[in-house]
Amino acid sequence: MEEDTMVQESLVLYGFWRSIASFRVRVALRLKGLSWEERPVNLMQGAQFTPDFDSVNPAHTLPVLQGPGFSHAQSLAILEFLEERWPDPALLPRDPDSRARARRLCLLTVADAHPLITPRVRHHLARNFAATEPQIAEWARHFLAEGARSYEALLAAEPPSPFINGATPGLADICLASHTVACGLFSLALDPWPTLNRLATACMALPAFADAHPFRQPDAPPASG
């Protein structure tokens, strides 16, 4: 790869320690061997709504990855971008059917479970339905358990391999691991879903995943973890 012999272009990631979408991008950057500077945006204090961040992403979401001449948002769009721009090592299989399967597994959390547990939704529940903290946590666990059940149903019958992607992790593994990180944030144990648990454990044993965990981020409060 041409990039390997050049000084890497500088990359900036706007993220937040607790954001599992930021987790996904951090893992992919590490698996691609890229370095980046991370700029924390405190989602829980509403920093995504300040004029400064509005100019970074007027949709007010994290993560945002910036580099020379580009500024991309939405974790799955960024993962696909990293895959196209830095193809080695490959994080998606080659044939269209296997790629569709990998993306389907990504979207189980990116499009089904994760959107339901974001701060804006939790705040909206509190504001509009007077939901208490325990009720909001229960809401999150309900939809995370639904997602976990779907992962298990889709993956349990497959021949065991270290990762969904095969011998090395790929985008589907990254998204699956992010789902289990969210389960951890809401104290949902993975015991009912042994295949999910096994795959997530294999991922989190790798430094690229472990170092991306919310509790390992510099902006995480000291009491985390």
Separation of alpha carbons 213 and 138, rounded Å:
22
Helix or strand (DSSP H, E) at 149: helix 133-155
**59 near its own copies (CB under 8 A):** yes
Q: Rule CB under 8 A: is residue 101 a binding residue for its own copies?
A: yes
Comparing CB distances to its own copies, the nearer of 58 and 160 is 58
Q: In what order do the strands lie in the sheet with 12-15?
A: 37-40, 12-15, 64-67, 70-73
Q: Which is nearer to its own copies, 170 or 206 (CB)?
A: 170
- In the bound state with its own copies, the residue whose beta carbon lies nearer, of 94 and 221, is 94
Whichever of 81 and 186 has its CB closer to its own copies, that residue is 81
CA proximity to 21, closest of 111, 138, 89: 111
* Secondary structure (3-state) at 95: coil
Instruction: Report the nearest approach of its own copies to the CB of residue 210 (Å).
Output: 25
Which residue, among 144, 142, 195, has the nearest Cα to 173 in the 3D structure? 195
Distance CA 47, CA 61 (A): 10
Applying CB under 8 A, the span of 35-43, 103-111, 175-183, 209-217 interacting with its own copies comes to 103-111
- Contact present, 214 and 17 (Cβ < 8 Å): yes
Rounded to the nearest whole angstrom, what is the least distance from the CB of residue 205 to its own copies in the complex? Answer: 27
How far apart are CB 156 and its own copies at their closest, in Å? 9
Contacts with its own copies, 124-163, as mask; x by CB under 8 A? xx--xx-x---x--xx--x---x---x--xx---------
In the shown chain, the binding pattern of residues 109 to 128 toward its own copies, with x for contact by CB under 8 A and - for none, equals -xxx-xxx---xx--xx--x
Give how many residues touch its own copies by CB under 8 A: 47
User: Is residue 24 part of the contact set for its own copies (CB under 8 A)?
Assistant: no
CA–CA distance, 205 with 122 (Å, rounded to integer): 31
CA 141 to chain centre: 17
Angle at 199 between CA 193 and CA 204, to 5 degrees: 115
Q: Does 44 bind its own copies (CB under 8 A)?
A: no
Give the residue, chosen from 6, 7, 35, 69, that forms a contact with its own copies under the rule CB under 8 A: 69
Cis peptide before 214 (omega within 30 of 0): no
Q: Residues interacting with its own copies, by CB under 8 A?
A: 58-61, 69-70, 72-74, 76-78, 80-81, 84-85, 96-97, 99-101, 103-104, 106-108, 110-112, 114-116, 120-121, 124-125, 128-129, 131, 135, 138-139, 142, 146, 150, 153-154
